Amino acid sequence: MEVKDIRAAGSDVKVAQFAASETATYTMFAGGGLNWADREIKAGNHALLPCEEYTTPDLKGLTCEWAPIPSQRGDILSLLVEPQDHTRQETFTVLARQLLTALGARDGSSRPVPDDVVITDDVADYLGGKGWADVVLNSDYRRYDDVLRLTLDCTPEQIEEIEALLTSAKGRGEVYFGLHRQSHALMACLVPTGAPGAPLHFLDGMSGGYRAAAALLEAQKHTHQLRRSEHQKSA
C-alpha cells in the first residue's frame, strides 16, 4: 500500500513532528490515512507479505522498569477522540483546543508524571545524567495519529466537563470518543540505539487505559454505522 492509494480513496497522510524537548521528538499523523489503511488491512484488502527476517519483532531498547504512577488529582484519564470526518480538520482543531485547555494539557498541569521524584544514582546513570526533569519533559502523554490520545491526571470535575463537551460534539456529528478512568498510569520507555541519555517515555493507564477507551470509541462507531444503514434502508 502506498500513500497514493490512500489519497485515491479520499483520505490523506499528513506528518508533523512535535519536539517535547531537545532530545525527544514524537511524530504526529493526520488526514485519516492511517485509519483508512488499518481498516483496509483488517478487511483483507491489503496484506503484508511474510518475511522470515522479521518474524520476531525487534524490541531492543524497549523497557518498562518504572513503578505505576498514582494520580495526584483524582483519576488518571485515558481519552481517545476521533473526528467523524477527517476532512473537517478545522472543526476538530477548535474542539481539541477546548479539550486541551479544559484538561490542563496545554499548560502541563494535568501531566501524569510528577515533577518532584527523587531518583537514585543508578537511575541517573540510566537517564544519561539528565535527571528526572528530563523524564517529565520527554513523557508522551499526548499525541495525535488520526485519533487524539491523552493520558492525563485529572480532577473529577474536569472529566465531567470534557465528557459533556464531547457528548455534545458527538451529537453534532463531529467526533467519536472513548474515555476510561483509573487510579494509576504506567510508563514504558524506548531507549534509541546509541542514545542512552535520550529515552522516550510512553504513558498509558494501568487498568485498561487506551484499550478500554478504544472499546468504547469503537462501540460508538458501530452504533452510528448501524443507524446510518437502517436510515438508508428506510429511505
Identity of the amino acid at 37: A
The two counts, helices (H) then strands (E), for the chain are 7, 11
CA torsion sign for 37, 42, 46, 47 is positive
For residue 200, give Cα distances in angstroms to 5, 203, 211.
32, 10, 21
Look at 160 and 129; give whichever has higher pLDDT: 160
pLDDT at 139: 83
Report the C-alpha gap between 20 and 18 in whole angstroms.
6
The pTM for the full model equals 0.81
CB 40 within 8 A of CB 18: no
What percent of the chain shows pLDDT beyond 70?
A: 83
Q: Which of 14-23, 132-141, 218-227 has the highest mean pLDDT?
A: 218-227
Tell me the range of 15-19, 53-57, 94-98, 101-105 where mean pLDDT is highest: 94-98
| 34 bridge partner residues | none
Rounded Cα distance between 36 and 114, Å, is: 36
Among 46-50, 80-84, 148-152, the least confident range = 46-50
Evaluate whether 28 touches 16 at the Cβ level (below 8 Å). Answer: yes
Neighbours of 206 (CB within 10 A): 17
